C-alpha cells in the first residue's frame, strides 16, 4: 500500500482534501494528514473536518499569525520532522497557500515526490503571495493535476514538458465537493433562518491585495454599501478583515456575519441573487450553483468564467463594481456548459496517485 502525506492548512484545502480522502481507501492508498494550523479559528478550520467527514489530522502544527517568511519557515521545519518519521511515498498538496509551498519544499528536499492538485493556475501577478506559492510548487512537483485546459497550456508554455514531471488534466475537485455536499448542506444548515428570508447578495473579502491596501478596501466597502441600499449584502467576514476595518475606521453598512462552515456557505451561494468575492474558490462555486459573480481583483486564474460571461473583474473600482452589478441584474446565462469536468476529478486523481 502506498503511503501519502497530505498537507492542509486553509479553508479551500479542507474542501479539496475531502474529495480525495474519500477516494483513497478504494485505491489502496494510506493517507497521513498534517494540519499546519494556518487557519486557526474554529469556524475556519475544525468545523470543516466535522461537517465534511474528513479524517482527523494525525499531526497539527498550530502555526499561524506570523509573517509569510516566518510562517512558511516554521511549517517547513515541522513538516520535515514528520516526513523523516513517516517516510511516505509522496507528498500531496493543494492550491496556493503557505502550507502548500512549505509541504512541497519539505518533501522535495528529502527526495519525496510532490503531487500538486490544482496545478497550472496563473494570475500572472507576482505581487500576490498565492501566485508565488503556486508557481514554485508547480516547478518542484512530479505529478501535476490540472483542473482546466488553460492550466495545462500554462504549464506547457513554461516548459514543463521538458521537466521530469507528469501533467494530467483531471478536472476540478471543487466541483466534486460541490455536487457531493449540496444535498447534505440543505439538510444540516440553518443559516437562512438565522439571516432572514429577504433577497440578498453574498460577498466575501479576504485577499491581502485588497485588505492590506486601505484605499482599495475603502472603495470595496463603499461599493458594497451602495449595493446594499438596493439589495441586502451579506458578508461572512474573515477575522483579519474585520480587524483591519476597525483599525482603519472603515464603516460597513452592509450585513456582517461570522465566518461560516462549508455547508452554510453552500446554502448561501445557492440562495443568493449574486456573488461578489476576491476568492478563487468562491468564483467557481458561484458557477457550480448557477450564480453570476463579480470578482474584486484585476486578474483571475479562472479566465474561462470571464470569457463565457459568468464573471466580471472589477478590482477595487467602485464604478466598475456598480456597473457589473447593473449588468447582472437582468442577465440570463446558461450554466450547464461543462467547464470543469463532470464531478469525477478526485476519482481520477486518486487512481493516478495509486499508480504513480
Set of cell numbers at residue 19:
474529495
> To 10 degrees, what angle do helices 173-188 and 280-288 make?
70
Set of cell numbers at residue 283:
468564483
- For 109, residues 6+ apart whose C-beta sits below 8 A from its C-beta are 80
Set of cell numbers at residue 146:
490540472
Measured CA to CA, the distance from residue 130 to residue 87 in angstroms comes to: 28
**DSSP secondary structure code for residue 205 in this structure:** -
Instruction: Encode 186-223: b = buried (16+ Cβ within 10 Å), e = exposed.
Output: eeebebeeebeeeebbbbbbbbebbbeeeebbbbbbbb
CA 236 to chain centre: 15
Cβ–Cβ < 8 Å for 286, 311: yes
Annotation marks residue 39 as catalytic: no
Measured CA to CA, the distance from residue 173 to residue 95 in angstroms comes to: 11
DSSP per-residue string spanning 180-194? HHHHHHHHH--HHHH
Q: Round to the nearest angstrom and report the end-to-end CA distance of the chain.
A: 12
Nearest-5° Cα angle at 79, 164 to 34: 100
Measured CA to CA, the distance from residue 24 to residue 266 in angstroms comes to: 25
Catalytic-labelled residue, pool 35, 39, 116, 206: 206
Q: Which residues participate in catalysis according to the annotation? A: 206
Amino acid at each position: 500500500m502506498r503511503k501519502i502525506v497530505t498537507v492542509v492548512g486553509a479553508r479551500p484545502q479542507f474542501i479539496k482534501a475531502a474529495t480525495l480522502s474519500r477516494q483513497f481507501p478504494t485505491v489502496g492508498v494510506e493517507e497521513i494528514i498534517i494540519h499546519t494550523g494556518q487557519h486557526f479559528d474554529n469556524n475556519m478550520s475544525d468545523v470543516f473536518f466535522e461537517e465534511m467527514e474528513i479524517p482527523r489530522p494525525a499531526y497539527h502544527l498550530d502555526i499561524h499569525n506570523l509573517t509569510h517568511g516566518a510562517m512558511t519557515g516554521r511549517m517547513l521545519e515541522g513538516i520535515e520532522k514528520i516526513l523523516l518519521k513517516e517516510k511516505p511515498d509522496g507528498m500531496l498538496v493543494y492550491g496556493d497557500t503557505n502550507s502548500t509551498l512549505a509541504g512541497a519544499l519539505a518533501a522535495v528536499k528529502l527526495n519525496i515526490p510532490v503531487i500538486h492538485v490544482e496545478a497550472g493556475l496563473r494570475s500572472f501577478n507576482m505581487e500576490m503571495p498565492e501566485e508565488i506559492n503556486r508557481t514554485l510548487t508547480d516547478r518542484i512537483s512530479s505529478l501535476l493535476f490540472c483542473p482546466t485546459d488553460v492550466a495545462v497550456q500554462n504549464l506547457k508554455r513554461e516548459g514543463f514538458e521538458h521537466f521530469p514531471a507528469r501533467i494530467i488534466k483531471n478536472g476540478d475537485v471543487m466541483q466534486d465537493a460541490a455536487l457531493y455536499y449540496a444535498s447534505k448542506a440543505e439538510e444540516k444548515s440553518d443559516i437562512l433562518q438565522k439571516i432572514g428570508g429577504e433577497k440578498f447578495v453574498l460577498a466575501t473579502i479576504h485577499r491581502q491585495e485588497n485588505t492590506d491596501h486601505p484605499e482599495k478596501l475603502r472603495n470595496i466597502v463603499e461599493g458594497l454599501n451602495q449595493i446594499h441600499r438596493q439589495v441586502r449584502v451579506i458578508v461572512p467576514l474573515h477575522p483579519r478583515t474585520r480587524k483591519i476595518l476597525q483599525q482603519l475606521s472603515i464603516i460597513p453598512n452592509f450585513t456582517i456575519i461570522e465566518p461560516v462552515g462549508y455547508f452554510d456557505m453552500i446554502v448561501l451561494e445557492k440562495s443568493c441573487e449574486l456573488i461578489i468575492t476576491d476568492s478563487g474558490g468562491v468564483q467557481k462555486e458561484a458557477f457550480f450553483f448557477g450564480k453570476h459573480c463579480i470578482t474584486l481583483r484585476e486578474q483571475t486564474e479562472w479566465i474561462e468564467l470571464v470569457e463565457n460571461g459568468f464573471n466580471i473583474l472589477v478590482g477595487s473600482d467602485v464604478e466598475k463594481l456598480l456597473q457589473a452589478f447593473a449588468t447582472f441584474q437582468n442577465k440570463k446565462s446558461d450554466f450547464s456548459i461543462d467547464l470543469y469536468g463532470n464531478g469525477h476529478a478526485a476519482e481520477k486523481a486518486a487512481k493516478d496517485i495509486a499508480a504513480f
